[in-house]
Amino acid sequence: MHLLLIEDDLALRTTLQRSLVRASMRVDLCGDGARALELWKSLQPDVVVLDLSLPGKDGLAVLQDARRDGLETPVLILTARGTVGDRIMGLNAGADDYLPKPFDLDELEARIRALHRRRLPSHRDEGSESPLVGTLRHDKKNGAIYHQHEVLDLTPRELALMAALMAKPAHAIAKERLFELVFPGQIDVHYEAIEVVVYRLRKKLQGTGTTLMTLRGLGYLLKASN
């Protein structure tokens, strides 16, 4: 896997490069927002990890310019900006995932690999239509879930769960399968952790006309409320 890491903090950049190279990734580095887009275009990486606070040009502007120029590389935003507004702005600009600092290196690696899997041909061939469940829409291009015209404020794990459920509306998906999608590669996390994500997601779906149901022995399903 070829990764472009755009991060201005030299110490963090060096640490991440060493860790990801040990994880069998090829990692190119950029610490300047003004050069980031040009390097992105020339390298054509599989995944981009992008900090928002960059010298020369803000990371959000870099992302917006990249999407405007037709670059479809999966992007993981990595930043100390952890407010709801910043997460929504990043998703609306075209980010695929969002990981606030400080973070766990194993989680970063797992998220990068998950983004890379989505880029593989078998996944790209599934089509670009946005699945609909009731008034909810999953925009596959930017990864966001919309209620009517508003982006739902969801964590990356909640987004992963919703994307899986919206791909098969009114069909039960096994708890074990959802766990693999929401917690990829995290063998130290118990299966019960998926129940926490479901609990929080149910609260956020209130008022959307959509119900997240538990079917004992079968898993979970998403359906439009009657």
Residue 223 phi/psi, 5-degree rounding, is -145, 155
Indicate whether 85 pLDDT > 80.
Answer: no
pLDDT tens-digit series, residues 25-64: 999 999 999 999 999 999 999 999 999 889 999 899 999 9
C-alpha pair distances (Å), 205 with each of 98, 148, 156, 201:
20, 13, 15, 6
Same domain, 55 and 15: yes
Q: Give 7's pLDDT tier (boundaries 50, 70, 90).
A: very high
Same domain, 6 and 39: yes
Which residues, at least 6 apart from 152, have a Cβ–Cβ distance to it below 8 Å?
136, 144, 145, 146, 162, 204, 208
Number of domains comprising the chain: 2
Domain boundaries, position 98:
2-123
Same domain, 148 and 191: yes
Same domain, 217 and 163: yes
Same domain, 199 and 158: yes
Question: For position 109, which CATH number holds?
Answer: 3.40.50.2300
User: What is the model's pTM?
Assistant: 0.55
Percent of the chain with pLDDT over 70: 90
Indicate whether 217 pLDDT > 70.
Answer: yes
Last residue of a domain, one of 98, 123, 148: 123
pLDDT tens-digit series, residues 120-169: 644 334 444 556 787 888 887 777 888 877 888 888 888 889 988 988 87
C-alpha gyration radius of the chain: 18
